[in-house]
A and B are shown apart, each in its own frame.
Chain A
Amino acid sequence: MSDAAAQVGLPPVTPEEDHKVGKGKGRAFLGIPVVGWMLIFFGIPYFLLFLQSLWEPTAFGVSHNWNLQNYKLVFFGDSLSGNIYLPTLLRSLKVGAMVTVFSTLLAFPIAYLLAFKIANSRTRLMLYVLVIVPLWASYLLRAYAWKVILGQNGLLGSVLDKVGLENTFLNNLLYSQAAVVITMTHIFTPFMILTIYAVLERLPPSLIEASKDLGVGRVKTFLTLVVPLSLPGVIAGATFTMGLSSGDFVAPQLVGGKNDVMIANQVYSQFGATNNWPLGSAIAFVLLGFVAILVAISTQAEKREQL
């Protein structure tokens, strides 16, 4: 951390000095493994996918007939099936946003507790492990677990029935957007906790003490100091969660209803069922575009926070 150097009174490292080490001319070959890896596993596949999206589907494959027909279909639909892709994409982004907000709200108090309120290091380690343990279980398993909990005669429903609350909306949450959001919130909250905790943990306790020393109470200190200083972690976690959850296809498939199909399900069915790879590629590229915009925004935001 460069501000740590500043805090102990070391002269700040200027960018020029920082790069002196790598100035030798023959050093470029050291980058080959990284560039090669990126090229083979990301660059070329994405390029091929992009080419696909500009072709036309035929009964048994594709014709290399270059056009933007697939993108037109994604954004405007056609007379046959109407406009289905763009609304699905927007719905996916909405679900992603909801998951991001809920997992942030759930994760922050836990990360805060972990970083500041638990003095005993063994207790802290145990809590930390409890946060991580769900990540060891398969995503599918966790999604199925929610099926068991949220189903008509599931755990939640039966308990509610027992206490006399029958036929509320909670008794039959399965196969709804709520179920999708709940499931994905559960999946992504640990990531959120880890990124926020990583930032809070490095926050010097003396900053909080300094705030109190200057006459500012607990709540105000939290709002004016802890929250702004934790924003880089929140932004990183939110970007991650938003990107992954709006592109998810497992949760909507397992716990969503037939109107809760998300954009990744569309991609999946174009490749897997309809055998329309060009359209699937076009949808994937539009989604990629949205995620790229999201990452660009969050990178900007993070930069501003770090100034």
Chain B
Amino acid sequence: MINPESGLAGAPTAGAPEGHSAAVELENVTKRYGEVTAVEDLDLRVEDGQFLTLLGPSGCGKTTTLRLIGGFEAPNRGIIRIGGDDMSSRPAYKRPVNTVFQQYALFPHLSVSQNVGYGLKHAGVSRSETAERVGEMMSLMQIPDVGDRRPRELSGGQQQRVALARALVMEPKVLLLDEPLGALDYKLRKEMQFELKRIHREVGVTFIYVTHDQEEAMTMSDRIVVMSHGHIEQDASPAEIFDRPLTAFVADFIGDTNIVHGTVTRIEGGHATVDLGPLGEIGGSTDDQLASGDRVRVSIRPTDVHVEPGGAGEAVVQDSVLVGGHIAMKIASGDETVVAHVARGSSYEPGANVHLRVDSDRIRVFAAAEGA
């Protein structure tokens, strides 16, 4: 009854060509705070001009990684290189990177132009050149007319742009962004995502962006590094992360998904056929070492679940709610509960008997966690 296509062909890895020095390189970097290990044995290579996002739940080590690159924390172990140069002995103020802070951290006692020109002024750049570069940068950020105001007189979105201008005017090799959109409301956040992409395109600087918002990561990044508990879960392009998550954690964290349990019946290369009990058999791709009879977890995107009229005892609709453009249905089948996203007008009332059909090449099979 379930009729999936086979797994994806091996997508190209996001790994980098060797031979030249990367914009940022982390080698075996570990950072501990007392007993807590924030980042463990991290290896990361960020290419010039990339828009890379460090994505993960709070406490996964993404902000620590950013602060290590910025020089606000020193690693307990490992090497950090920026543009090929070892940063071990370089404090934050000597590193060729600039940061956009979470709450912008604009200087409240200075005007907007003074904020943007702060770094240049103290670097000894002449007054006229500073004024010129500040003006250019503020036009690029589309806030050319707020120079004489104080930061607090600006809206959140404008403050955001000032923070970007202040960092980018220094012409850094790498721009670090620490959840810069977190303080904005939904609509403005959407707008700024496109703005950030545009700015990234125009200045061509390497962006390292930290967020816990998977949608933000998906929209903007060339490459996403999903982190959890201080290590990297997956490092790939947004499409690959979504279509071919390496672990159940990534599948669960990126986009909505159903994780259902089953037993492997057949395995052929990277393709596993799994018996899901009342849900029937399903095939999906896997990167784990599996054998027939293994307990596994299967990730099925809600959009890949098709709901059709069915007989009694198969599956029962529990709930059906309108979520903007589509309807989310909660359907019970045996012990499992599956969420399906269907078009408006093709949903069923709670209590209806339905038949579930999964039709996708995005099904992923993961070895069950220890003890599961």
- Whether A215 touches B119, Cβ cut-off 8 Å, given contacts A9-B159, A12-B152, A206-B102, is yes
Could you mark each residue 202-230 of chain A with 1 if its beta carbon is under 8 Å from any beta carbon of chain B, else 0? Answer: 00101101111111110010001100110
Could you mark each residue 93-122 of chain B with 1 if its beta carbon is under 8 Å from any beta carbon of chain A, else 0? Answer: 110011101111111110000000011001
Contact B105 A215, beta carbon cutoff 8 Å: no
Closest Cβ of chain A: how far from B306's Cβ, in Å? Answer: 41
Q: Is B238 an interface residue (CB 8 A)?
A: no
Q: Is B123 an interface residue (CB 8 A)?
A: yes
**Given A3, A10, A209, A216, which contacts B119 in the complex, CB threshold below 8 Å?**
A216
**Residues of B contacting A209 with CB < 8 Å?**
70, 72, 92, 99, 101, 105
| Alpha-carbon distance between A2 and B104 when the two chains are bound, in angstroms | 16
Closest Cβ of chain A: how far from B164's Cβ, in Å? Answer: 13
Q: Which residues of B (127-160) have their CB < 8 Å from a CB of A?
A: 150-157, 159
| Alpha-carbon distance between A3 and B103 when the two chains are bound, in angstroms | 12
- Whether A6 touches B152, Cβ cut-off 8 Å, given contacts A215-B123, A216-B118, is yes
Q: Is B170 an interface residue (CB 8 A)?
A: yes
**Residues of A contacting B70 with CB < 8 Å?**
209, 213
**Residues of B contacting A48 with CB < 8 Å?**
none
Q: Which residues of B (62-77) have their CB < 8 Å from a CB of A?
A: 70-72
Contact B150 A214, beta carbon cutoff 8 Å: no
Contact A211 B152, beta carbon cutoff 8 Å: no
Contact A207 B105, beta carbon cutoff 8 Å: yes
Contact B159 A6, beta carbon cutoff 8 Å: yes
Closest Cβ of chain A: how far from B208's Cβ, in Å? Answer: 14
- Whether A210 touches B108, Cβ cut-off 8 Å, given contacts A9-B157, A215-B93, A217-B93, is no
Tell me the nearest residue of chain A to B102, going by C-beta.
A206
**Residues of B contacting A204 with CB < 8 Å?**
103, 105
Q: Is A305 an interface residue (CB 8 A)?
A: yes
| Alpha-carbon distance between A129 and B170 when the two chains are bound, in angstroms | 43
Tell me the nearest residue of chain B to A5, going by C-beta.
B152
**Residues of A contacting B119 with CB < 8 Å?**
214-216
Closest Cβ of chain B: how far from A102's Cβ, in Å? Answer: 26
Q: Is B185 an interface residue (CB 8 A)?
A: yes
Q: Is B91 an interface residue (CB 8 A)?
A: yes
Q: Is B184 an interface residue (CB 8 A)?
A: yes
**Given A2, A12, A210, A307, which contacts B105 in the complex, CB threshold below 8 Å?**
A210
Contact A9 B72, beta carbon cutoff 8 Å: no
Closest Cβ of chain A: how far from B359's Cβ, in Å? Answer: 43
Q: Is A7 an interface residue (CB 8 A)?
A: yes
For A211, A213, A215, the residue with the greatest tally of chain B CB atoms inside 10 Å of its CB is A213
**Residues of B contacting A212 with CB < 8 Å?**
71-72, 91-93
**Residues of B contacting A220 with CB < 8 Å?**
122
Closest Cβ of chain B: how far from A3's Cβ, in Å? Answer: 4
**Residues of A contacting B167 with CB < 8 Å?**
213-214
**Residues of B contacting A21 with CB < 8 Å?**
none
Tell me the nearest residue of chain B to A214, going by C-beta.
B119
Contact A8 B122, beta carbon cutoff 8 Å: no
Contact B151 A214, beta carbon cutoff 8 Å: no
Contact B152 A214, beta carbon cutoff 8 Å: no
Chain A residues touching B, range: 20 to 34
| Alpha-carbon distance between A290 and B151 when the two chains are bound, in angstroms | 37
The A interface, classified by DSSP as helix, strand, loop or mixed, is: helix
Tell me the nearest residue of chain A to B94, going by C-beta.
A215
**Residues of A contacting B291 with CB < 8 Å?**
none
Contact A305 B109, beta carbon cutoff 8 Å: yes
**Residues of B contacting A307 with CB < 8 Å?**
150
**Residues of A contacting B152 with CB < 8 Å?**
2-3, 6-7, 12
| Alpha-carbon distance between A194 and B156 when the two chains are bound, in angstroms | 32
**Residues of B contacting A3 with CB < 8 Å?**
108, 152
Could you mark each residue 223-265 of chain A with 1 if its beta carbon is under 8 Å from any beta carbon of chain B, else 0? Answer: 0110011000000000000000000000000000000000000
Closest Cβ of chain A: how far from B342's Cβ, in Å? Answer: 36
Could you mark each residue 288-307 of chain A with 1 if its beta carbon is under 8 Å from any beta carbon of chain B, else 0? Answer: 00000000000000000101
- Whether A9 touches B184, Cβ cut-off 8 Å, given contacts A209-B105, A305-B109, is yes
**Given B93, B103, B166, which contacts A216 in the complex, CB threshold below 8 Å?**
B93
Contact B122 A7, beta carbon cutoff 8 Å: no
**Given B108, B153, B156, B159, which contacts A229 in the complex, CB threshold below 8 Å?**
B108
Contact A216 B98, beta carbon cutoff 8 Å: no
Q: Is B2 an interface residue (CB 8 A)?
A: no
Contact A6 B151, beta carbon cutoff 8 Å: yes
Closest Cβ of chain B: how far from A207's Cβ, in Å? Answer: 5
Tell me the nearest residue of chain B to A6, going by C-beta.
B152
Contact B183 A211, beta carbon cutoff 8 Å: no
Contact B93 A213, beta carbon cutoff 8 Å: yes
**Residues of B contacting A207 with CB < 8 Å?**
105, 107
Closest Cβ of chain A: how far from B24's Cβ, in Å? Answer: 15
- Whether A8 touches B99, Cβ cut-off 8 Å, given contacts A209-B92, A212-B93, is no
- Whether A206 touches B185, Cβ cut-off 8 Å, given contacts A3-B152, A213-B98, is no
Could you mark each residue 1-30 of chain A with 1 if its beta carbon is under 8 Å from any beta carbon of chain B, else 0? Answer: 011001111111000000000000000000
Q: Which residues of B (152-195) have their CB < 8 Å from a CB of A?
A: 152-157, 159, 166-167, 170, 183-185, 188
Contact B109 A229, beta carbon cutoff 8 Å: yes
- Whether A9 touches B93, Cβ cut-off 8 Å, given contacts A2-B152, A215-B123, is no
The 3 closest A-B pairs by CB, nearest first: A9-B156, A214-B119, A206-B105
Sample (16) of A-B pairs whose CB atoms are under 8 Å apart: A7-B104, A9-B155, A9-B159, A12-B153, A204-B105, A206-B103, A206-B105, A207-B105, A209-B70, A209-B101, A210-B107, A212-B93, A213-B97, A214-B93, A214-B122, A217-B93
Given contacts A206-B102, A209-B72, A213-B70, 19 further A-B contacts (CB under 8 A): A6-B159, A7-B104, A7-B106, A8-B103, A9-B159, A9-B183, A12-B152, A12-B153, A206-B103, A210-B99, A212-B93, A214-B98, A214-B118, A214-B122, A215-B122, A216-B119, A217-B93, A224-B122, A229-B109
